[in-house]
Amino acid sequence: MKDVVNLSKLALPEPLNLIGGEWVPARSGGEMDVVSPIDGEVFARIADSDAADVDAAVQAARAAFEGGAWSELTAAERGRLMIRLSERILEHAEDLAQLETRDNGKPIAQARADMKVTARYFEYYGGAADKVHGEVIPFQKGYNVEVHREPHGVTGHIIPWNYPAQMFGRSVAPAIAMGNAAVLKPAEDACLTALAIGRMATDLGFPPGAINIVTGRGARAGQALADHPGIDFISFTGSPEVGQMIQQAAARNFIGCTLELGGKSPQIVFEDADLDAALPVLVNAVIQNGGQTCSAGTRVLVQRGIFDAVGARLAERFGEVEAEASDHDGATLGPLISAKQKKRVETYIAEADAPLMARGRIGEGAPDGGFYVAPAVFGPCDPKARIAQEEVFGPVVCMIPFEDEAEAIAIANGTEYGLVAAVWTRDGGRQQRVAKAMRCGQVFINGYGAGGGVELPFGGIRKSGHGREKGFAALLEFSTIKTIVNNHG
Ligand code: NAP
Ligand code: MG
């Protein structure tokens, strides 16, 4: 086991869960290794939790919500604590970023950006905690009708490994802002920054049970959380397969859920687009985080008259990209998260049912044990090709030609997913028409924003899931309405 993380101020998280304000080992004593994708080496350990740990965490959250110190705080006090946590995250941003890169493999520049976004979630939702108001509804004479927004109670949060710290902020911050008590099951492949931020929260005096963190395997700890009859709402980000099981478990418990399940997001480039502005964005929307981003812009639809020219430029740029160790400045593409994910992506590339236009490289210095994949551009792709339909979750992009606006819209909407889309054109009317025609949750015009955008409601339709995170919309998801009808005569 080697300690390569610069932990000047931050201790490497221990194999402990956060339950009711205490840091405790798994009840069974189970632990598991944490591997760094950069070199495949074990560098830390986490608790390998089961249903008993999840049950204890849910009970602790219940106690916090019903009569515990957490329930005693005013909305303003909750918000103030969250803003202090935001500041603490920023104070330790460099150490957290180093830890994130070691744990997840993402380029250090990306990890640094992630920490700013994570802090911003706690700042944004901390600031909003006391600004969600109810309503008074005009009703029959002699009545006063009030609509109150109330927390659900105990909220479950299951998050993936692609943006561990950001996902913690995105999912948990709006929930606790509304006064819920949260139980988080982060992903076994990368959860150390969530534990480190949890440690900051306990140090800052968050009341016991407000935030609980239970680490371990999805099929055991995650399933136990989804199935637990003591949770009142569940928020899930991950694969459609597991998302479907989460929704079934939620149905059995008669509770609501939000699902954020990824996508196959289109970027539509018309002949009149500003290509110099578009090209770097098109590349980054796939390379960012090794393509392991739910909103990665992995289908590039290009109008036929400029298809060859755009294809050549995109191929040239991708061909220059090198996958390399990501813990130094300047790295743009690091390893993928795990050997399993590398195999999945390489299988998609090897079996792709479209011509390969360009392939990047694995850098010579990339450690042998790491999970590196050279990026790939495919095209011209049939829009119905498997490689153009399924989420690969790696540095793989499909180029698809189209004739006109109608065909572009049909192709863009022609997958089972619907998360994000972009339209690149200088024609104002077309910008509006295409944006309105997109069947998805977020549309960019002459830009693209994978990640970040804390203020902007985000989420999908169909196989991309349902419910909205980010922005004020998330506060509404993490609360319910009570209507009080008073017949005052
Ligand atoms: P996944 O299995 O859906 O994992 C997401 C989260 O769910 C993790 O915390 C995982 O825990 C947990 N989980 C797994 N099985 C569970 C179960 N039976 N009950 C409750 N929770 C469970 O996704 P993955 O295997 O990491 O990745 C597979 C594919 O999913 C990727 O290639 C990608 O296409 C997609 N994906 C999408 C997103 C997104 O942002 N939308 C994120 C990640 C992956 P453990 O990881 O600890 O097992
Ligand atoms: Mg790891």
Domain boundaries, the chain: 17-261, 266-452
In 10 A of CB 281, how many CB atoms? 18
Name which of 382, 371, 333, 375 is nearest 357 in CA terms.
375
Cα separation, 72 vs 247, whole angstroms: 32
Q: Which of the residues 294, 381, 398, 440 is marked catalytic?
A: 294
Q: What is the C-alpha to C-alpha distance for residues 459 and 236, in angstroms, rounded to an integer? A: 11
Instruction: Please give the distance, rounded to the nearest whole angstrom, from the Cα atom of residue 451 to the centre of ligand 2.
Output: 20
260 is catalytic: yes
* Torsions phi, psi for 129 (to 5 deg): -55, -40
CA of 238 to the centre of ligand 2 (A): 16
* Predicted local distance difference test score (pLDDT) of residue 451: 60
| Nearest Cα residue to atom 43 of ligand 1 | 238
Query: How, if at all, do strands 135-137 and 143-151 pair?
Result: antiparallel
What pLDDT does residue 1 have? 39
pLDDT value at residue 253: 98
With a 6 Å cutoff on the Cβ, whether 6 touches ligand 1 is: no
Using the mean position of ligand 1's atoms as its centre, give its distance from the Cα of residue 352 in Å: 23
The reply to whether domains 17-261 and 266-452 share a CATH topology is no
Q: Within 13 Å, how many C-alpha atoms sit on residue 129's CB side?
A: 25
Nearest ligand atom owner, CA of 157:
1
The ligand placed nearest to the CA atom of residue 236 is 1
- Indicate which residue's Cα is closest to atom 34 of ligand 1: 393
Q: Distance between CA atoms of 33 and 19, rounded to whole angstroms?
A: 21
d(CA 259, CA 461): 10
The residue nearest atom 45 of ligand 1, judged by CA position, is 218
Task: Judge whether 217 and 245 are in contact, CB under 8 Å.
Answer: no
Shortest-distance Cα residue to atom 41 of ligand 1: 262
Global pTM reads 0.97
Beta-bridge partner residues of 323: 333, 362
Given a cut of 50, the residues of the chain with pLDDT beneath it are 1-6
What pLDDT, on the 0 to 100 scale, is given for residue 3?
43
* Token pair in block for residue 488: 């005052």
Residue closest via CA to ligand 1's atom 46 equals 187
> Ligand 1 pocket, 226 CB below 6 A?
yes
Q: Report, at the CATH architecture level, how domain 266-452 is classified.
A: 3-Layer(aba) Sandwich (3.40)
Q: Which residue among 167, 242, 458 has the greatest number of ligand 1 atoms within 8 angstroms of its CB, and so is best to mutate?
A: 242
Question: Which CATH number does 17-261 carry?
Answer: 3.40.605.10
Q: Is 393 in the pocket of ligand 1 (CB under 6 A)?
A: yes
Cα angle value 266/300/110 (rounded, 5°): 80
Instruction: List CB contacts of 331: < 8 A, sequence separation 6 or more.
Output: 107, 108, 109, 324, 325
Identify the pLDDT of residue 11.
Answer: 76
**Spatial contact of 182 and 167, defined as CB atoms under 8 Å apart:** no
Ligand 1 center from residue 455 Cα (angstroms):
25
Ligand 1 neighbour 232 (Cβ under 6 A):
no
Ligand nearest to the CA of 105: 2
Is residue 294 part of the annotated active site? The answer reads yes
Please give the distance, rounded to the nearest whole angstrom, from the Cα atom of residue 306 to the centre of ligand 1: 38
Q: Is 188 in the pocket of ligand 1 (CB under 6 A)?
A: yes
What's the pLDDT at 9? Answer: 59
* Residue 324 Cβ < 6 Å to ligand 1: no
- Nearest atom in ligand 1 to the alpha carbon of residue 263 is 41
* Å from CA of 216 to ligand 1 middle: 12
Tokens 């509304």, residue? 178
